[in-house]
A and B are shown apart, each in its own frame.
Chain A
């Protein structure tokens, strides 16, 4: 057995064990904490699958930002009055059904996947030179399938609209509250003062390097959002009111800039979201810069949730 195989086996076993712990944990809070550990381990599996871009996204958004969101919910709700567990017979039946589904999927993935595997890597690499980019994943996201990426940003904005519209009428357009009511601990305040300058540099580097190396707008935006969230949790700054025009502009700026570049493609390169010859890379960097800021603002607002306090006068 080679060391790589042993590592993969150990990693897969650990991922499965922690996923089982997440499902089986007695308390909601322990389930959420194991879920964060699970997400971080899963990003290692993504590295082993030679997908470092996905690994970064999984660690930053799948484990980090989702984990923070779930931590807040678990702290608020806890385990109060959640309803009774289903009877044992139902549990066994569900377990059997899920085991069947899992073995069917395992059989499909291990045996039935076509050989040789279909791949779009050669055409993606063949056109890479015309985009001026070095990272094929970024090329797929911003050149070949740019419409998906634009619509995904719209999904983020729509989700934020949905979350904000859950605010009760009396605090409409008010301020979202993050973290417990108790004053923050000195350690958290210290970290919130220490980390953001470093995190912002890493976020900008990650956005910038995304053109040629693993990274990009999503990962950079998630790190930027995390920096904003730690400052908010430590109460070093207040969340702007959801009715604040600047915040709304920040959320919309990235998708609108990207859509504007897309419409300009009609005039300059005869297709929606097409880039004129030789200008692909600068336009993509411009769109990514706007999107990084908008993703950061949207992710942070989604974690902070709907308004809970009336807006300041």
Chain B
């Protein structure tokens, strides 16, 4: 296949993905109004901006709570030997 044929094909798929970047979530109108009021004269451009910001903060916090160490006890012993040899432990 010619190079630009391959490249162009990929480009179309990505344009489609770019269009699907946002979705709609429903929140109570009263909450929407409260947020709209709250964000006046702040850096937030819209209620969506604010909601995205707050949700990202909360989601990251919950994800952090679910974390576990990325190594086994076997790894730890091997790494400890290296750290001792290098004078770190």
Whether both chains belong to one complex is answered with no
Binding site for A on B (CB under 8 A): none
